[in-house]
Amino acid sequence: MKKAFAVQAACAALAAVAGLAIAAGEGPLAEARQRPPQIRVQTTLVNIVASVSDASGEPIAGLPQEAFALTEEGVPQKIARFEPETNRPLDLVLMVDSSASALVELKLELEAAAQFIGRVLRPGDTLAVFEFSDDVTELADFSGDVPRLQAAVRHVSPGSGTSMYDALVLGSSALRRRPADRRRAIVLVTDAGETTSKSQFEDARRGAVVSEALVYSVIVRPVKNENGRNTAGEHALITIEESAGGGAFILDDVSQIGAIFDRINRELRTQYLLGYYPNPTPPPGSLRHVGLQVTGGYAVHYRSEYFTARAPR
């Protein structure tokens, strides 16, 4: 009993000394409390989804890892992840311009879009349907139910105005809420005649980049001559595609739209996935620029920008 009491007394004494040391600003715990907080930046894997095509626009599959060279801010990067034909499931947003400026060809566009839905979706993939004119309306939430999605796109109703930037912002936001480690894409069918968005061009571009969504713009020109056509909207979509990846297709005849949907479908099924850990570690909360080259003289489309995570508070 005396031994147990002695041990208890010793423990109590040590606790008292430790308490006095902490109170006095001494000891390891007190020192830890006095140290300034350390900011740690964790380098995460950056994934780049790329489409490679030949001079005629046909997708090229089966290239080896050695055919690709990655850079960030001009500094070569080591490829840590490579999938020559990625099977990652796809989340896709289909956005259809229903503005009055697109009415003449709307019926053909909607039928081509419905057929595209039937071809593009594979088991595990999901798609959401939006229409936009002066407002943006979700007609069908993310689903793999092809008949329901086709019915939704066939019920797009005409409107007035073209809120193209708002559509891209909302589509990107919807994709950001989808599960991680899935591919993301937006297919936008429009005449590019932006008129009524509350969002600005930079909002749309940044939204697409942050969501990591590839942007495929199918631009159906209402008139072939540049006079009377919104070329600024066309250039805006091309610029967004250059930042986010994907493709911009300009049609003078709506009868070409089925072939373009087929091309987008083939690209989505023959994409390469490349991942790397940025070296040197980039600053938190910064915009980074990625370069990707492929041997063989092929064209390559990919996300050329991304934002690093902000430092934890």
Return the higher-pLDDT residue of 252 and 168: 168
Mean pLDDT across the chain: 87
What pLDDT is recorded for position 162? Answer: 93
CA angle 192–202–68, rounded 5-degree value? 90
Cβ neighbours, 10 Å, residue 39: 9
Looking at residue 104, its pLDDT comes to 67
DSSP character for 142? E
Domain range for 299 is 46-85+272-307
Cis peptide before 280 (omega within 30 of 0): yes
Tokens representing 289 are 């620029």
The pLDDT value recorded for residue 87 is: 85
User: Which of 96-105, 211-220, 236-245, 270-279 shows the lowest per-residue confidence on average (mean pLDDT)?
Assistant: 96-105
Question: Could you give the CA distance from residue 44 to residue 310 in angstroms, rounded to a whole number?
Answer: 12
Model confidence at 107: pLDDT above 60: yes
In a domain, 254, yes or no: no
| One domain, residues 12 and 74 | no
Looking at the structure, do residues 132 and 225 belong to the same domain, yes or no?
A: yes
* More confident call, 269 vs 12: 269
Q: CB under 8 Å to 179, separation ≥6 — which residues?
A: none
Same domain, 60 and 192: no
Q: Are residues 23 and 55 in the same domain?
A: no
> Are both 94 and 71 inside the same structural domain?
no
pLDDT at 102 over 60: yes
Asked whether residue 130 falls in the same domain as residue 230, the answer is yes
Q: Total structural domains in the chain?
A: 3
Q: Rounded to whole angstroms, how far apart are CA atoms 261 and 64?
A: 27
Average pLDDT for residues 103-108, to the nearest whole number? Answer: 80
Predicted pLDDT at 47 = 95
Q: In terms of domains, do 99 and 73 share one?
A: no
Tokens of 285: 């909360």
262 vs 253: CA distance, rounded Å? 16
Scanning the structure block, which residue is given the tokens 């050329």?
A: 304
Residue where one domain finishes, among candidates 242, 263, 289: 242
Structure tokens at 67: 């055919």
pLDDT in tens, 288-309: 999 999 999 999 999 999 999 8
Q: Do residues 97 and 236 share a domain?
A: yes
- Residue-level pLDDT at 223: 61
pLDDT tens digit sequence for 54-89: 999 889 999 999 999 999 999 999 999 999 988 899
Pair 117, 178 in one domain: yes
Percent of the chain with pLDDT over 90: 72
Q: Quote the tokens at residue 104.
A: 């003449």
Distance CA 62, CA 83 (A): 10
pLDDT of 23 over the 60 cut: no
Do 53 and 174 lie in one domain? The reply is: no
Identify whether 53 is part of a domain: yes
Listed in sequence order, the residues at least 6 apart from 21 whose beta carbon sits closer than 8 Å to its beta carbon are 27, 30
* CATH code where residue 117 lies: 3.40.50.410
Find the distance separating the first CA and the last CA of the chain, reported in whole Å: 51
In a domain, 262, yes or no: no
Q: Give 133-188 pLDDT, tens digit per residue.
A: 999 999 999 999 999 999 999 999 888 899 999 999 999 999 999 998 899 999 99
Answer yes or no: do 217 and 171 share one domain: yes
- Structure confidence at residue 3 (pLDDT): 40
User: What is the model's pLDDT at position 137?
Assistant: 97
- Is 249 part of a structural domain of the chain? no
Is the pLDDT at 192 greater than 90, yes or no?
yes
Do residues 120 and 184 share a domain? yes
Which residues, in sequence order, are bridge partners of residue 293? 69
The total of other beta-carbon atoms located within 10 Å of residue 192's CB is 28
Dihedral angle at the C-alpha atoms of 268, 77, 207, 89, nearest 10 degrees? 30
Q: What does the alpha-carbon distance between residue 188 and residue 207 come to, in Å, rounded to a whole number?
A: 14
Task: Classify residue 213: in a domain, yes or no.
Answer: yes
Q: Is pLDDT above 60 for 41?
A: no
- Residue 76 to residue 48: CA distance in whole angstroms: 15
Residue 231 lies in a domain: yes
Q: Is residue 124 part of a domain?
A: yes
Query: Mean pLDDT, to the nearest integer, of 221-245?
Result: 82
User: Has residue 69 been placed in a domain?
Assistant: yes
Q: Is the pLDDT of residue 32 over 60?
A: no
pTM of the model: 0.83
Phi-psi region of 155 (alpha: psi -120 to 50; beta: other; left: phi over 0): alpha
The average pLDDT across 89-98 equals: 96
**Four-residue CA torsion sign, 164, 241, 72, 59:** positive
